[in-house]
Amino acid sequence: EAQVTQNPRYLITVTGKKLTVTCSQNMNHEYMSWYRQDPGLGLRQIYYSMNVEVTDKGDVPEGYKVSRKEKRNFPLILESPSPNQTSLYFCASSQRGQLANYGYTFGSGTRLTVV
Amino acid sequence: GQNIDQPTEMTATEGAIVQINCTYQTSGFNGLFWYQQHAGEAPTFLSYNVLDGLEEKGRFSSFLSRSKGYSYLLLKELQMKDSASYLCAVDSNYQLIWGAGTKLIIKP
């Protein structure tokens, strides 16, 4: 089944403790992206990657890191989480030539709470 | 700046038709998406418009006017399961800019 897999689904952590949210896609998509979603603000892009070893900042990159060492994986790293990073996070992937039929495929989301 | 505007909430009756509008101002335009999102779940793809005009997919249709920076999503024969948030997003130079979403409430 074609899908984007995020882990974990839920995470509660303490301020300053490094964490990684994993994202993996099995569709051979070139493009991958991370978003956070907060009430009333909609989805905001954190980082995106056009291909392996190519990453760019989105609208809200502060406090986050990403890497794209292989095509299928795009982990999101919070080096020193703070309470304002409490949010619902989504990973998404796409293939430029298939946008009309499939758009961006999203993972199931990770609900992160930083206390 | 870049912004996308859509109504915060709409209410409609089961079996009726509803139109959700979206206006946008972005630095680039590579296409406009509509997504459906049920509470706590991931957004799911509904439609993609890159040229002006109407795209129809079953009960859902999406319209785009690039000169006006305007799109709408039309939902026909509303069902209770259509109760969800509907998100408008513009692909602006390979960055997706999202509206805050329109929460659609369906009443019997």
Say yes or no for a CB contact (<8 Å) between A106 and B87: no
In contact, A71 and A35? CB cutoff 8 Å:
no
| DSSP designation for A97 | G
d(CA A46, nearest CA chain B) in Å? 10
Give the mean model confidence (pLDDT) for residues B54-81: 96
Average pLDDT across chain A, whole number = 93
Comparing CA positions, the residue from A45, A42, A76 lying closest to residue A58 is A45
Q: Is B80 helix (H, G, I), strand (E, B) or coil?
A: helix
Q: What is the DSSP string of A14-48?
A: -TT--EEEEEEESS--SEEEEEEEETTTEEEEEEE
CA–CA separation, A66 vs A49, rounded Å? Answer: 9
Query: What residues of chain A lie within 8 A of the CB of B94, using their CB?
Result: 31, 48, 50
* A-B Cβ pairs (cutoff 8 Å, strict): 52
Could you read off the pLDDT of B36-64 as tens digits, one per residue?
Answer: 999 889 999 999 999 999 999 899 999 99
The predicted pLDDT at position A98 comes to 74
Could you read off the pLDDT of B5-30 as tens digits, one per residue?
Answer: 999 999 999 999 999 999 999 999 99
The predicted pLDDT at position A1 comes to 81
The model's confidence at residue B2, banded by pLDDT at 50, 70 and 90, is confident
Could you read off the pLDDT of A49-88 as tens digits, one per residue?
Answer: 999 999 999 989 999 999 999 999 999 999 999 999 999 9
Cβ of residue A25 closer than 8 Å to a chain B Cβ: no
For chain A, the residue count is 115
The predicted pLDDT at position A48 comes to 93
Say yes or no for a CB contact (<8 Å) between A106 and B101: no
CA–CA separation, A20 vs A38, rounded Å? Answer: 20
Q: Is A51 helix (H, G, I), strand (E, B) or coil?
A: strand
In A101-110, which positions are buried (b, 16+ CB within 10 angstroms) versus exposed (e)?
eebbbbbebb
Query: What residues of chain A lie within 8 A of the CB of B50, using their CB?
Result: 100
Place of tokens 């079996």: B15
Comparing CA positions, the residue from A91, A107, A110 lying closest to residue A19 is A110
Q: Is B45 helix (H, G, I), strand (E, B) or coil?
A: strand
The model's confidence at residue B84, banded by pLDDT at 50, 70 and 90, is very high
pLDDT-above-70 percentage for chain A? 100
The predicted pLDDT at position A103 comes to 83
Q: In what order do the strands lie in the sheet with B70-75?
A: B3-5, B18-25, B70-75, B60-65, B53-57
